[in-house]
Amino acid sequence: MFKRNARQDLIFFLVFSAFVLSMPVLLAPIGAGYPDLLQKFAIYGLFAIGFNILFGLTGYLSFGHAAFLGVGSYAAVWMFKLLTMNVIPAIVFAVIISGLFALAIGYVSLKRSGIYFSILTLAFAEMSYKLAYSVLTPLTNGETGLQVKLRASGPVTDLINQDVRVLDAAMGIEENGIPAPSLFGLEITGWQAFYLCAVMLIAGFYIAMRINRSSFGMMLRAIKSNQNRLNYTGVYPRPYLLAAFTISGMYAGLAGALLAVTDPLAGAERMQWTASGEVVLMTILGGAGTLLGPFLGAAVIKYFENIFSAINENSLHAVLSFLPDPVENALVSVLSMFVGEGWHLTLGLLFMLIVIFLPGGLIEGFNRLIGLFTRSRKQTTGENREEA
């Protein structure tokens, strides 16, 4: 029984990996086959998968996860500025720093639960954002954003504007202009950057799957279903919660680091609470508590953001031109509310519908559809649902 589960997991994992790696080809027909967007799929997918470890498993709703993403970005860019353009130290350092940051904030915030927990995380995130914008300017370069600069030739007086890259300098790497992030000499831009993100996503997915299947994951789910009962059985849930919070913070940090790798600039906007709200949207939309849901939600939202928002009235007119004019015009004026700049409206409505009717997200929707068509094999669908 247990063995079969492991086997199913393996297949599930392999299919997922194959899909992620072939996205450049598979998604090209729907206009998503360009590196910037696919990088975003992978990065925000990771962010949401990490967020799901906290929210999906324990039910603790954090509205401050964007802060960890921002911290990860800043940490990664600082590594680029100080040590080397190699992406490995940047990623490792970003994950460690955001992990520590999450540990500290989680330790305080988890003293409360429910809505108080949400508000505490919200308050911490807003504080981080406001500080990054004001007094922490020497670390963050404020609104301008922290950027990779030229390596200083003389004495260094201003680290924001003069980079040192000690390791690169020690290894005698020549720089002609501002260098791009690299992986042992291979430049990480465009498609290379996408494959790096994809590999990270697959690794992150694997770890999340292992956590899900472990006794630790079981404990987290127990917290969600009934914390009191856990308390009565003598289990003290906070260390588990803190571990989950920190791990999801590290995922956010990794996502932040990858954002910095694909585009070496860190701005404070990505820490704002509405950015935290976005990852909540992604997770719920796809299906909180499921493995695939968060990635699906992230991809759908990023796809909408880039593709749906580019549709305008002219393209609507072109599509609907077969209709009689008055009908066409009426339809276009209604539809234009939902596309182009109004795509957030579609997103908001979709999100509300999902919270109201499909608390399990798109994944639950798919499962219900599958259930409709394969009623005869009800048993297997029941299992699938748990698995997905």
Partner 1 sequence: MDAILLQVLNGLDKGGAYALIALGLTLAFGTLGIVNFAHGALFMLGAFCAVALNKLLTLEKVTLDPTQKTPWGAPLEIRTPYVEAWLGDFGKFLVDWSVPISILVVVPVMLLIGIAMERGLIRHFYKRPHADQILVTFGLAIVLQEIVKHFFGANPIPVPAPAIFAGSADVGALFGLPPNTIVYPWWRLIYFLFALVVIGIVFAFLQLTTFGMVVRAGMRDRETVGLLGINIERRFTIVFGIAAIVAGLAGAMYTPVLPPNYHIGMDFLVLSFVVVVVGGMGSLGGAVLAGFLLGILQSFASMNEVKAIIPGIDQIIIYLVAVVILLTRPRGLMGRKGVMED
Partner 2 sequence: MSEKKLIVNRRQIIRGAAGGAALAVPILHYIKDAHAEEYCNMPKGKEVVLGFNVPQTGPYADEGADELRAFKLAVKHLNGEGDGGMLNTFKPSSLKGNGILGKKVTFVTGDTQTKSDAARASAKRMIEKDKAIMISGGSSSGVAIAVQSLCQDAGVIFMAGLTHSNDTTGKDKRRHGFRHFFNAYMSGAALGPVLAKAYGKDRRAYHITADYTWGWTQEESMKKFTEKEGWQTVKTVRVPLGAGDYSQYLTPVLSSGADVLILNLYGKDMVNALTQAVQFGMRDKVVNGKNFEIVVPLFSRLMAQGAGEAIKGIYGSVNWNWQLQDEATKAFVKSFGQEYGFPPSMAAHTCYVQTILYANACEMAGTFSPAGVIPALEGFKFDGLGNGPTEYRAADHQCFKDVLVVKGNEKPTSKFDLLSVVELTPRSKVEYDPKIFGGELGPINTKPC
Distances (CA, A) of 120 to 126, 127, 270, 335, 373: 10, 11, 19, 39, 45
Query: Cα–Cα–Cα angle for 246, 39, 345, nearest 5°?
Result: 85
Please state whether 358 falls in left (phi above 0), alpha (psi between -120 and 50) or beta: beta
Q: Bridge-partner residues for 223, per DSSP?
A: none
Q: Does 133 bind partner 2 (CB under 8 A)?
A: yes
CA dist 84 and 135 (Å) reads 27
Signed CA dihedral, 202, 204, 205, 210: sign only: positive
What is the DSSP secondary structure assignment for residue 311, as one 8-state letter? -
Cα 313 to Cα 30, 292, 305, 338: the distances in Å are: 20, 34, 17, 11
Site string for partner 2, 172-211 (x = CB under 8 A): ----xxx-x--------xxx---x----------------
Nearest approach, Cβ of residue 269 and partner 2 (Å): 5
If the CB atoms of residues 116 and 191 are measured against partner 2, the closer one turns out to be 191
- Which of 59, 89, 142, 371 forms a contact with partner 2 (CB under 8 A)? 142
Q: Is 116 a binder of partner 2 (CB under 8 A)?
A: no
Closer CB to partner 2, residue 118 or residue 262?
Answer: 262
List phi, psi (to 5°) of 182. Answer: -140, 165
- CB closer to partner 1 out of 33 and 59: 59
Q: Which does 203 bind (CB under 5 to 8 A by kind): partner 1, partner 2, none?
A: none
State the residues that interact with partner 1 by CB under 8 A. Answer: 59, 61, 108, 111-116, 118-120, 122-124, 126-127, 130-131, 133-136, 273-274, 277, 280, 284, 337, 341-342, 344-345, 347-349, 351-352, 355-356, 359
Q: How far apart are CA 210 and CA 189, in angstroms?
A: 31
| Contact with partner 2 (CB under 8 A) among 143, 330, 352, 353 | 143
Q: Confirm if 294 and 360 have CB atoms less than 8 A apart.
A: no
User: Exactly one of 116, 138, 144, 170 binds partner 2 (CB under 8 A); which one?
Assistant: 144
Please choose, out of 30-38, 223-231, 279-287, 288-296, the segment that lies near partner 2 by the rule CB under 8 A.
Answer: 30-38
Which residue, 25 or 356, is less far from partner 1 as judged by CB? 356
Output 82 or 242, the one with its CB closest to partner 1: 242
Q: Which does 15 bind (CB under 5 to 8 A by kind): partner 2, partner 1, none?
A: partner 2
Q: Which is nearer to partner 1, 342 or 365 (CB)?
A: 342
Q: Return the number of the residue (64 or 264) whose C-beta is nearest partner 2.
A: 264
Binding segment toward partner 2, per CB under 8 A, in 55-63, 119-127, 261-269, 353-361? 261-269
Q: Among partner 2, partner 1, none, what binds residue 239 when CB lies within 5 to 8 Å by partner kind? A: none
C-beta of 341 vs 386, nearer to partner 2: 341
Q: How far is the CB of 22 from partner 2 (least distance, A)?
A: 4
Judged by CB under 8 A, the stretch of 17-25, 110-118, 212-220, 351-359 that binds partner 2 is: 17-25
| Closer CB to partner 1, 111 or 377, in the complex | 111
11 binds partner 2 (CB under 8 A): yes
DSSP string for 10-54: HHHHHHHHHHHHTHHHHTGGGT--SHHHHHHHHHHHHHHHHHHHH
Closest CA to 263 of 99, 39, 88: 39
119 binds, among partner 1, partner 2, none (CB under 5 to 8 A by kind): partner 1
Q: Can you tell me the distance from the alpha carbon of 386 to that of 380, in angstroms, rounded to the nearest whole number?
A: 10
Q: What is the DSSP string of 89-123?
A: HHHHHHHHHHHHHHHHHHHHHTTS-HHHHHHHHHH
Cβ–Cβ under 8 Å, residues 296 and 372 = no
Q: Using CA of residue 358, residue 360, residue 366, residue 369, what is the dihedral sign? A: negative
What does each C-alpha distance from 101 to 133, 214, 238, 245, 326 come to in angstroms? 18, 25, 17, 11, 58
Write out the residues near partner 2 by the rule CB under 8 A.
Answer: 11, 14-15, 17-19, 21-22, 24-25, 31, 34-37, 130, 133-134, 137, 142-145, 147, 150, 161, 176-178, 180, 189-191, 195, 263, 265, 267, 269-270, 306
